[in-house]
Structure 1
């Protein structure tokens, strides 16, 4: 019988080499993330694989699974430990090797395999590892499945089963690349900066874009798991600034940036303006709803209010559904509502047919942006951006808050704003118009200026976003008010970036 995991072991000890270590907080709302060697060891990953195999069987799903790994120095070893556990649990494993997360999701369809386990820490800093999992394509696990998996793994409620096997799928990336590029080329002559932050997308994004017929300016595409310049996260200003500089230096038509596992895309326009992903979502919704009037779009609560108020979207009969932040939440909501697409401010975009298969893929998003430019040959990316109603928003800002307390802090902040509203108190000098609590708390003042606070689903942080349709000054006033409430909680630390 494989040992039951323990929450903490120290490296370079007998126990570390003979027992599985799995820190309970690594099981997140919709995937798993740990600091490798500090919060999970290889035997712990093997226990995770055995637990995942037990969960799949318990769900009544065929025990057959696709695996892949991102380009970090330890990801391949972690994947093999996971595979050992899956095979011990009787699963048939199809290993596609070094891959993007959307490549693994594509493999579920291409190989006709029901389950997926992609080893990646996505955009998290070096030292982190994780697994994105699913057993019902195209959606991935949500809180119910993750809670059950946590219970199985931590209690050691797994067992060895017969029938496990391993198959390495040779040259699978070419099948993914062919799927995205077997189509009409982009007719418009475009010069595109492809920024990959030295992450996994560097191995695939440039050649995909080139096959579509655009001129590619590669930026940080050499694979380097130390991430020497910046973390590959197109929501971070450091990466966006690098993209903007490259766009202006090379006179590019657009900059496209991809995160560490290639399921997100960030955009910079031809004038070097860094466009937050929710505004890109509004631009794509405008473009797609002209082709599909009356379409439904799902957006996360961090996103701009323009999805509900933009006159072009209203004229096209668009229905906007604001939902919980998180790739699994939005992905499932898009599937449930049969929406045309779903947009997250983080850059996770989900396109249903005829654009995509429902899962998040940064390259599919990039292609949608290029198609939008192709359909508007007399307009630049900056023209399309300027055509949106002006709002003033912050980047996503994340003050540190320990995993063990972040949800309690988020709830206290929610209750504080609700108490202010009940008492008739003002927020940033104005009455509170409404409060939305579908995911954390989004508090809106009378003039439409709003602030969001929620607990991060995958890091020891809170998430703060502010937007005003009125002015930058009002946006800053709201940030000051929201931050003031946050600072009533001593567990809240410094921001990763701020205005």
Structure 2
């Protein structure tokens, strides 16, 4: 019988090498992430594979799965342990090797395989590992599936079978790149900075953009899992500012920045201004809804209010559906209601046909931005951005908060603002106009200024975003209002970045 996973083990001991270790908090809302060697070991990853294989067959799905891994120094070993567990549970594994996450999603369609397990910690710091999983393309697991997987693994409820198998698909990236580039080249000459933050996308993004006809300026495309310059996260100002500097130095038309596993894309315009992903979504919605009037777009609760108020979107008959933050939630919602696309402030974009297959791919998002520029040859990207109504928006700001306490803190803050609304109390100097509690709490006051607080789904952090259509100072007022409530909870630590 396979031993039951332990929540913790001391390294460099017999037990550490002979028993699986899996910390329960690594099972997040819609994927799984651990600090390797501190929260999970190789036998723990093998147990995860056996649990995943057991769950997939419990769901009645065909026992075949795509696996891939990012380029971190330990990812291949982790994937191999996962694969042995999957095979022990009777799964036929289709391995595509080193990949970005969307390449593994593409492989589900290309190889006609229903399930996926991509070993990646995305943009998390070096030392983290994780798995993005799904059993029904193009969707990935949500809380129900992750919860059941957690129970199977932690209780060692494995159902092992001798029928597993393994196939390695050599040179699979060539098939992925061909799929993205088998189309007419761009008519407009566009100089692009391809910023990869030394993440996995550096192996693929420059050649895809060149094949589309762009003049490409590679930036930090060498693979280096220590991330020596900055974290490959297109929400982080450090990466965006580095992109700005490169745009100005080369007089480029645009910088496109990709996160660690290539499923998100950040944008800096020709003047060096970062365009937060929700505003990029509004620009793309304007462009796409001209081709598809009356389209519905799903947007997460961290995103700008312009999806509801922009006059161009109203003119094109656009319907906006605000939904829970998180790539699995957004992907599922976009799929279920047949939206043309889904836009998340983090940079996860989900394009349904004819633009994509429903999963998040940073290169598909980059191509959508380039196509928008191509359809507007007389306008610079900065002009398309400046055509939007003015709002003052913050980046995503994340104060540290332990996984064990963050959801309780959010519940208390939600209750605080519900109570304030019931009593008619003011927030940031104005009455509360609206509260949205589908995912944390989004507080909107009379002049349209709003602030959001929610728990991060994949790190021990909270998430704060604020925006005002009225004035920059009003954005700061709302941040102070949200932060003052957080400061009553000593469990909440310092922010990763602030306005």
The TM-score bracket by the shorter chain reads over 0.9
Listed one character per residue, the Cα deviations across residues 402-440 of structure 1 (whole Å, up to 9, x for unaligned) are 000100001100000111111111000000111000000
- The match for 1:169 is 169
User: What does residue range 261-340 of structure 1 map to in structure 2 within 5 Å?
Assistant: 261-340=261-340
Identify unmatched segments of 5+ residues in structure 1. none
Q: What is the deviation of 1:223?
A: 0.5
- The match for 1:245 is 245
In 2, the alpha carbon distance for the partners of 1:296 and 1:58 equals: 34
Q: Check the 8 A contact 2:29/2:457 in 1, yes or no.
A: yes
In 1, the alpha carbon distance for the partners of 2:80 and 2:219 equals: 31
Q: Check the 8 A contact 2:54/2:158 in 1, yes or no.
A: yes
1:105 has 2:105 as partner:
yes
Listed one character per residue, the Cα deviations across residues 279-320 of structure 1 (whole Å, up to 9, x for unaligned) are 000000000000000000000000000000000000000000
Q: What is the CA RMSD across the aligned residues, in angstroms?
A: 0.4
- The match for 1:395 is 395
User: What does residue range 96-495 of structure 1 map to in structure 2 within 5 Å?
Assistant: 96-495=96-495
- The match for 1:67 is 67
In 2, the alpha carbon distance for the partners of 1:139 and 1:34 equals: 22
Q: What is the deviation of 1:162?
A: 1.6
Q: Check the 8 A contact 2:186/2:213 in 1, yes or no.
A: yes
In 2, the alpha carbon distance for the partners of 1:103 and 1:44 equals: 25
Q: Check the 8 A contact 2:54/2:160 in 1, yes or no.
A: no
In 2, the alpha carbon distance for the partners of 1:43 and 1:498 equals: 40
Listed one character per residue, the Cα deviations across residues 324-370 of structure 1 (whole Å, up to 9, x for unaligned) are 00000000000001000000000000000000000000000000000
In 1, the alpha carbon distance for the partners of 2:316 and 2:10 equals: 59
Q: Which runs of 4+ in 1 moved over 2 A?
A: none
In 1, the alpha carbon distance for the partners of 2:487 and 2:320 equals: 33
Listed one character per residue, the Cα deviations across residues 118-160 of structure 1 (whole Å, up to 9, x for unaligned) are 0000011111000000000000000000000000000000032
In 2, the alpha carbon distance for the partners of 1:427 and 1:190 equals: 45
**Secondary structure class of the residue paired with 2:366:** helix
In 2, the alpha carbon distance for the partners of 1:414 and 1:431 equals: 16
Q: How many residues align?
A: 499
**Secondary structure class of the residue paired with 2:314:** helix
In 1, the alpha carbon distance for the partners of 2:398 and 2:10 equals: 29
**Secondary structure class of the residue paired with 2:313:** helix
**Secondary structure class of the residue paired with 1:80:** helix
**Secondary structure class of the residue paired with 1:405:** helix
In 2, the alpha carbon distance for the partners of 1:433 and 1:376 equals: 38
**Secondary structure class of the residue paired with 1:404:** helix
In 2, the alpha carbon distance for the partners of 1:389 and 1:159 equals: 56
Q: What is the deviation of 1:227?
A: 0.6
**Secondary structure class of the residue paired with 2:356:** coil
Q: What is the deviation of 1:84?
A: 0.5
In 2, the alpha carbon distance for the partners of 1:302 and 1:126 equals: 26
In 2, the alpha carbon distance for the partners of 1:210 and 1:10 equals: 49
Listed one character per residue, the Cα deviations across residues 425-477 of structure 1 (whole Å, up to 9, x for unaligned) are 10000001110000000001111100000000000000000000000000001
Identify unmatched segments of 5+ residues in structure 2. none
In 2, the alpha carbon distance for the partners of 1:460 and 1:219 equals: 30
Q: Check the 8 A contact 2:105/2:359 in 1, yes or no.
A: yes
**Secondary structure class of the residue paired with 2:130:** strand
Q: What is the deviation of 1:51?
A: 0.1
Q: What is the deviation of 1:10?
A: 1.2
**Secondary structure class of the residue paired with 1:87:** helix
- The match for 2:56 is 56
In 1, the alpha carbon distance for the partners of 2:18 and 2:412 equals: 41
Q: What is the deviation of 1:2?
A: 1.2
In 1, the alpha carbon distance for the partners of 2:144 and 2:127 equals: 27
Q: What is the deviation of 1:14?
A: 1.0
